[in-house]
Amino acid sequence: MKEKILEIKNLTTRFHMVDRDITAVDSLSFDLGSHEILAIIGESGSGKSVTNLSIMKLIDEPGEISAESRILFRDGDKYLDLNKLSEKEMERIRGDRISMIFQEPSASFNPLFRLGSQVGESLHLHGKRNKEEAYHEALKLLAQVHIPNFSLRAQDYPFQMSGGMLQRMMIAQALACHPDILIADEPTTALDVTTQAQILGLLKEKQKETGMSVIFITHDLALVEDFCDRILILYAGSLMEEGNARDVISNPMHPYTRDLLRSIPKPGMFKDKDKLFAIPGKVPDPGEKIEGCPYAKRCTGCTAECLAKKPDITEKDGRKVRCFHAYS
Residue ranges that bind ligand ATP, judged by CB under 6 A: 15, 22, 24, 42, 44-50, 63, 219, 286
Three-state secondary structure along 268-315? Answer: CCCCCCCCCCCCCCCCCCCCCCCCCCCCHHHCCCCCHHHHHCCCCCEE
**Strand ranges in 49-202 using DSSP code E only, listed in sequence order:** 63-65, 70-75, 78-81, 98-101, 181-185
Which CB atom, from 142 or from 236, has the smaller least distance to ligand ATP?
236
Q: Angle at the Cα of 67 (from 76 to 3), degrees rounded to 5? A: 25
Q: Angle at the Cα of 317 (from 324 to 223), degrees rounded to 5? A: 85
Judged by CB under 6 A, the residue of 58, 125, 261, 302 near ligand SF4 is: 302
CA distance 40 to 92: 25
Least distance to ligand ATP, CB of residue 259, Å: 16
Judged by CB under 6 A, the residue of 7, 247, 301, 313 near ligand SF4 is: 301
CA distance 230 to 320: 12
Name the one range near ligand SF4 by CB under 6 A: 112-120, 143-151, 202-210, 296-304. Answer: 296-304
Least distance to ligand ATP, CB of residue 63, Å: 6
Which CB atom, from 219 or from 310, has the smaller least distance to Mg ion?
219
Q: Note whether 306 binds ligand SF4 by CB under 6 A.
A: yes
Q: Note whether 213 binds Mg ion by CB under 5 A.
A: no
Binds 24, which of ligand SF4, Mg ion, ligand ATP, none (CB < 5 to 8 A, cut-off by type)? ligand ATP
Closest CA to 228 of 80, 59, 32: 32
Which CB atom, from 219 or from 325, has the smaller least distance to ligand SF4?
325
CA distance 324 to 310: 9
Which residues, 37 to 96, sit near Mg ion by CB under 5 A? 49
- The residue number with the shortest CB distance to Mg ion is 49
Contacts of 274 (CB under 8 A, 6+ apart): none
Residue ranges that bind ligand SF4, judged by CB under 6 A:
255, 293, 295-296, 299, 301-302, 306, 311, 323-325
Residue ranges that bind Mg ion, judged by CB under 5 A:
49
